[in-house]
Amino acid sequence: MQKRNRLESPPHENHAPSPQSSKRSKKAEPSPLFVKPNFPQEIIVEIFSNLPVGSLLRFRCLSKSCKSFIADPFFIKKHLEKTQNDPKFAKKRVLLYACDPRNSNSFRSCSLNAVYKDPSIDSIEVACPTKEFQGFDRIVGCCNGLICIHSRDTLFLLNPTLGIDKRLPDLGFKRRGAFRTVYGFGYDASVDDYKVVRVFTHQIKGFEYASKSIVRVYSLRTNSWRRIQDLAFGTPDDNTGKYVDGSLNWSAFRRQETGFSWIVVSLDLAQETFKEVLQPCYGDGVSDKSLEVLDGCLCVLCNYVGLYIDVWVMREYGKRESWTKLITIPYLSGPGFELFSSRRPLYVSGSDEILLHIGVKLILYNPKENTFRIPVIDEDHIFYIFQAAIYVESLVSPFVINHH
């Protein structure tokens, strides 16, 4: 007997129904969309996996079978895969932590496609539980549609597309001496788990330049924290780890006889071990460097104050010879660009136009024409942009690890 498609409605009986049963069956009749599901399961998956999340959420109301299908772990992964490989970036959005003209901070999001193409861009507010803390929030990282946010020693995972969030268990630690705490968020594909990492560095009593970095990892699967090996490569300089290819990466300072050197430290999320990432030769005259991610690649920005910024990318993660100088960006000055106080590349379009967060503004730089333009984003709600990140719309939940 042929197995019935999971979305298929039950076969009709051959006998004529009574008037009462006819009324009941009419009430329970499934949506017309699923009355004749004659397509093979593979075709249905293919069609639905190309739809935006908003449409899929509306389809959940059509029938129980449809709701179950959309919540299926295999389908969620398939949909995510299609979204991430979409060359038109129609399902990508820009998350903004911004201040409005009334000096009130909030998270908002807008379409990445609109930022590149529209003269005026609308934004929507992202419901975030950190509002109750009334502090300055920080975007720890974005991964597969999930966003990790830190606010006053409290961490949250949220999916802004689904409108759901989860508060992570508190660690409960005592502040001691000179200290620094940095975080990171990423995905461990080896066990299908999302992980948040906290590196707590404190000064060792009696030693002016000696410090110890204690590392703890949160697993979404177990909903718990545990301690792993200490970080022995130096003192982290980044507030947030950069997620690339199953690893979290921080810039750090390592003490040497002649002073301090700027290094890149990597944590393999599967092995939970640290190593140093080898860098290219940047040349002379670099005043400072910062670690970023661009187009899924590890990226270093070399700042030549008052002149320009060089953008280097590691095309193949872990291979030193794959470092390439991607672009040189001329220096900007004026209100909102104060000494490039914040500089972060966010996205490169198919035409090589690069979206940057510089100072408190988003900027689009066209290297072919050597021109800048400032996208106009919802001036009623966005005055200054403190942080910006790119995320994808997905069905991934901060509560459930989806297994196939």
pLDDT at position 14 over 60: no
pLDDT band at 392 (very low <50, low <70, confident <90, very high): very high
Q: Give the three-state DSSP class for 106.
A: strand
Q: Give the three-state DSSP class for 222.
A: coil
As a CATH number, domain 92-392 is 2.120.10.80
What residue segments make up the domains of the chain, in order of their start? 19-71, 92-392
What pLDDT is stored for residue 9 in this prediction? Answer: 39
Count other C-beta atoms under 10 Å from residue 216's C-beta.
15
**Phi, psi angles (nearest 5°) of residue 11:** -65, 150
Distances (CA, A) of 299 to 63, 116, 147, 276, 363: 46, 22, 20, 15, 18
Count other C-beta atoms under 10 Å from residue 155's C-beta.
22
pLDDT at position 35 over 50: no
What pLDDT is stored for residue 226 in this prediction? Answer: 96
pLDDT tens, residue by residue, 266-323: 999 999 999 999 999 998 888 889 999 999 999 999 998 878 999 999 999 999 999 9
pLDDT tens, residue by residue, 133-164: 566 789 999 999 999 999 888 999 999 999 99
Cβ atoms of residues 262 and 270 within 8 Å = no
What pLDDT is stored for residue 90 in this prediction? Answer: 80
Spatial distance between the Cα atoms of 118 and 111, rounded to a whole number of angstroms: 10
Provide the token pair at 117.
């193409």
Spatial distance between the Cα atoms of 29 and 10, rounded to a whole number of angstroms: 10
What pLDDT is stored for residue 335 in this prediction? Answer: 62
Provide the token pair at 68.
């179950």
Residue recorded with tokens 């110890």:
212
Q: What angle do CA 81, 86, 92 make, to 5 degrees?
A: 95
CA atoms within 13 A on the CB side of 322: 11
What pLDDT is stored for residue 173 in this prediction? Answer: 62
Residue with the larger pLDDT of the pair 254 and 346: 346
The pTM of the full predicted model, rounded to 2 decimals, is: 0.85
What pLDDT is stored for residue 26 in this prediction? Answer: 46
What pLDDT is stored for residue 153 in this prediction? Answer: 82
Q: Is the dihedral of CA 238, 356, 375, 117 positive or negative?
A: negative
What pLDDT is stored for residue 401 in this prediction? Answer: 55
